[in-house]
Amino acid sequence: EERAREILSAVEGRGDNRLGVEAMDLLDAYGISTPDGDIVDAPADALEVAERIEGDVVMKIVSPDILHKSDIGGVKVGVPNEEVYDAYEDLVTRARNYQPDANIIGVQVQEMVDLDAGVETIVGMNRDPQFGPLLMFGLGGIFVEVLEDTTFRVAPVAESEAHEMTEEIDSAPLLRGARGRDPVDVEGVTETIQRLSQLVTDFPAILELDINPLVATPDGVQAVDVRLTVD
Ligand code: ADP
Ligand code: MG
């Protein structure tokens, strides 16, 4: 909680209240696992991170003005080391074209997560004036708006409630291994919902937060993307 407080106050000093993948550390501080990666502000540093990670990487623009990164071509998946420089420049160019005065913090270089073996889910929170912090769980990634397969609870939730959420959505069978696929780590999903519940309970200043996707595989869960708004 101490570390999370530091991270949040650093953001408040920045003078805007929207945060993207810079908030990955906040998730880490609450034990929500995230892929290996770092945010850098120069192509050479991006390459250094990519070489450390080994294998192809994902690169994403990091800007409080660009919260839906894919919409502007701000996410590149499967970038080999030799393309990291060009990818960096291209991401920044796209961001500038989209919004010339965008505050560009840099580029996130992230380990690839195996989406084929997993299910993209979403775990989120929205503070409702009447009900308080509403936790949301559902199918994530590109399907979230299309299918609207979601379920809600007021935070804080007990483990049993968090578990119920994973059973309630229409796509629940997907998590439990439909069509001969291995079941994903549902316990990890349940734990993540609870950890998020704890985070937003500890920090009333967090007005909304989305982990989308939280990729659930048979081996565990990974928070691949996050965005949040603070008071
Ligand atoms: P945004 O939601 O702002 O467009 P994301 O970080 O969620 O950006 O990336 C968009 C999509 O790209 C994800 O939903 C996922 O399908 C894919 N993606 C992002 N990061 C990774 C990763 N580390 N490994 C594999 N796929 C990824
Ligand atoms: Mg996303």
Could you read off the pLDDT of 160-187 as tens digits, one per residue? 999 999 999 999 999 999 778 899 999 9
Ligand 1: which of 69, 71, 224, 227 to mutate, most ligand atoms within 8 Å of CB? 224
Q: Are residues 125 and 226 in the same domain?
A: yes
Which residue range forms the structural domain that includes residue 211? Answer: 119-230
Q: Are residues 139 and 196 in the same domain?
A: yes
Q: What distance in angstroms lies between residue 216's CA and the mean position of ligand 2's atoms?
A: 14
Q: What distance in angstroms lies between residue 130's CA and the mean position of ligand 1's atoms?
A: 32
Q: Are residues 87 and 139 in the same domain?
A: no
Q: Are residues 162 and 204 in the same domain?
A: yes
Q: Are residues 133 and 163 in the same domain?
A: yes
Q: Are residues 123 and 108 in the same domain?
A: no
Q: Are residues 92 and 162 in the same domain?
A: no
Specify the pairing of strand 226-230 against strand 206-217: antiparallel
CA 164 – CA 61 distance, rounded (Å): 35
Average pLDDT of the chain to the nearest whole number: 93
**Nearest-CA neighbor of 57 among 104, 106, 112, 8?**
112
Q: What separation in angstroms does the CA of 175 have from each of 61, 75, 157, 170, 214?
A: 30, 26, 20, 10, 12
Q: How many residues does the chain have?
A: 231
Q: Is the sign of the CA dihedral 51, 66, 121, 143 positive or negative?
A: negative
- List, for residues 86-141, the tens digit of each pLDDT value: 999 999 999 999 999 999 999 999 999 999 889 999 999 999 989 899 999 998 87
